[in-house]
Amino acid sequence: MTTARHYDLLVVGGGSGGYAAARTARDLGASVAIADPGPLGGLCILRGCMPSKTLIATSDLMYGVREADLLAVRSAEPRVDYPAMIERKRRVIKGFADYRIEGLETFELLQGPAKFVDRRELDVGGVRVRAKNVIVATGSVVAPPAFPGLLETGYIDSDAALDEEKPPSSVIVLGGGYVAIELGQFFSRVGVATTFVIRSPRLLSGADDDVGNALTDYLRDEGIRIVNRAFVERVERAGDRKRVVFRRDGEEGAVEAQEIFYALGRVPNIAGLGVEAAGIVSHPITGVEVDATLRTANPNVFAIGDVIGRYPLVHVAIQEGEIAARNAVCDKHESVDYRLSKAHTIFSDPQVAVVGETEKELLAAGRPFLRATYPFDDHGKAIAIGKTKGFVKMLAGPSDGRILGVQILGPEASDLIHEAIVAMYYRATVFDFVRIPHLHPTLAEILTYPAEELVVAIEGARTASERGDLPIAASVPG
Ligand SMILES: Cc1cc2nc3c(=O)[nH]c(=O)nc-3n(C[C@H](O)[C@H](O)[C@H](O)COP(=O)(O)OP(=O)(O)OC[C@H]3O[C@@H](n4cnc5c(N)ncnc54)[C@H](O)[C@@H]3O)c2cc1C
């Protein structure tokens, strides 16, 4: 029996969340080791955000060239050099991964899978490690196939979709969330006949209906087939093609394609961790249970990122990692403020970006609100550059005008949303927002229009109430 190595903190998993936790703990003076079996780099760099956005850059450019006629640029039909695109992606990703690995190697890096043997001790690839505190950051894995026949018929998941040397001639996308949308639109734009099969009436069923409906229409307009309200019954082979059989409005239907892209999400990666030995409570779908301070049922073990199944996003994993590290090393009880952290974006075209509460969430919580929207096809800068798809929406408190949420479906939404994030960070009202200078002509100006409309509505209501009129609708949902 070898003696165990000792650290103040052992971080299990060196992805985005784990790396941020390790850095924070070291800056606080703790002795830190990271356990990770590799491949090193984490999901975002190796098989998530970065490879997907690198490929989408090519498909968006393809689409831009096709649309160039609108801006009086005449060009021949573009052709994607698929192997060259994949080679570029591999080169770009290798650069990011090498940089991350250099960072990981500045820590005591234990290359092996970690497994708890008791509440404080772990086995890392045959090495015994004891730590005062442990942060579990093992991420997520692709959800197991959910439909009869899918495994036998064969499919690609996002890992494979991002690394295919040659695209399929046609693809059925199972799923309507962000990974399905981003990569489904990518396939379509590089020339793959693409069909979505989704259970809900629209893509992005978790978003507000106006956003999901508009995005569904835009994707249909560019030639993507979307079979909605379809309940998949089975998947089977049809000669050298693959068939998805579903029930829709009580009738059986089917679609066929060369490949199936299974994009129905990911589940927390807890297999093989020895959670019982650690005294941690976990669930296969919702992941490791933690309290507001990211402590598990074992107060010396914290968990962060995708493995806790809250908001599977890089910036959330990083923020949780930093907070868990401070709590572990300094024995603090800081908690995560998800009010803003749950902000997210989807790199479709047009893009989607959301911060704060949605209408659906406010209605479900019974919170009154006012809403105003403004379309990009009436906005000067958007018209000038020919990017007129989508709209912005602002939600505010009916009496104080505090901004409760902003949604953008449109060009550069993933960047434009940051103004709203900053405004909400400082708990700005629509009255503040309209006083903040906005340069002209910019896409960012568009957010001032719903803010102005809300100012007028709130001031109108105030004047009416001072006059003693009956109050106008305190909330204007939908
Ligand atoms: C296609 C796709 C696109 C995405 N795009 C975006 C995007 O645009 N924006 C965004 O914010 N998010 C995006 N995400 C999500 C994002 O990648 C994840 O939320 C994020 O990477 C999670 O970080 P993490 O630190 O929790 O886990 P990971 O980065 O997955 O790290 C987990 C680490 O744990 C290690 N590990 C596993 N088991 C063990 C063990 N037993 N012992 C030790 N180590 C172990 C793994 O090797 C890995 O290095 C995307 C995901 C996908 C799949």
Instruction: Please tell me whether the peptide bond between 39 and the residue prior to it is cis, using omega within 30 degrees of 0.
Output: yes
Q: Whose CA is nearest to atom 15 of ligand 1?
A: 313
407 lines ligand 1 (CB under 6 A): no
278 lines ligand 1 (CB under 6 A): no
CA distances from 426 to 236, 402, 429 (A): 54, 10, 9
Task: Quickly tell me which residue has 């509440």 as its tokens.
Answer: 119
Q: What is the pLDDT of residue 219?
A: 98
- Distance from the alpha carbon of residue 139 to the mean position of ligand 1, in angstroms: 5
- Cβ partners under 8 Å of residue 95, min gap 6: none
Q: Which atom of ligand 1 is nearest to the CA of 272?
A: 41
Coil, helix or strand for 380?
Answer: helix
Q: Where are the alpha helices (DSSP H) in 73-208?
A: 82-104, 150-153, 158-161, 178-189
18 lines ligand 1 (CB under 6 A): yes
Rounded CA separation 131/279 (Å): 15
177 lines ligand 1 (CB under 6 A): no
Q: What is the pLDDT of residue 84?
A: 97
Instruction: Identify which of 19, 34, 49, 104 to mutate to test ligand 1's pocket (most ligand atoms within 8 A of the CB).
Output: 49
DSSP 8-state assignment for residue 163:
T
Rounded CA separation 69/5 (Å): 65
Structure tokens at 121: 């001790």
Q: How many CB atoms sit inside 10 A of residue 399's CB?
A: 13
Largest CA distance in the chain: 84
305 lines ligand 1 (CB under 6 A): yes
Residue positions counted in the chain: 478
Q: Which atom of ligand 1 is nearest to the CA of 12?
A: 43
Give every residue of the chain whose pLDDT is below 50, as ranges: 1, 472, 474-478
In whole angstroms, how large is the CA radius of gyration of the chain? 25
| Active-site residue, 6 included | no
Rounded CA separation 320/325 (Å): 8
Chain CA centroid to CA 53, Å: 12
Query: Which is nearest to 174 in space by CA: 189, 190, 158, 160?
Result: 158
158 lines ligand 1 (CB under 6 A): yes
Q: Which atom of ligand 1 is nearest to the CA of 38?
A: 47
Q: Which atom of ligand 1 is nearest to the CA of 53?
A: 8
Q: What is the pLDDT of residue 477?
A: 41
**Burial status of residue 80 (CB atoms within 10 A of its CB: 0-12, 13-18, 19 or more):** middle
- Distance from the alpha carbon of residue 16 to the mean position of ligand 1, in angstroms: 7
Q: What is the pLDDT of residue 476?
A: 44
Instruction: Identify which of 10, 54, 107, 138 to mutate to test ligand 1's pocket (most ligand atoms within 8 A of the CB).
Output: 138
- Distance from the alpha carbon of residue 423 to the mean position of ligand 1, in angstroms: 29
- Cβ partners under 8 Å of residue 106, min gap 6: none
Q: Whose CA is nearest to atom 9 of ligand 1?
A: 49
Q: What is the pLDDT of residue 478?
A: 36
Q: What is the pLDDT of residue 468?
A: 81
49 lines ligand 1 (CB under 6 A): yes
Structure tokens at 99: 């940089």
36 lines ligand 1 (CB under 6 A): yes
Q: Which atom of ligand 1 is nearest to the CA of 273?
A: 41
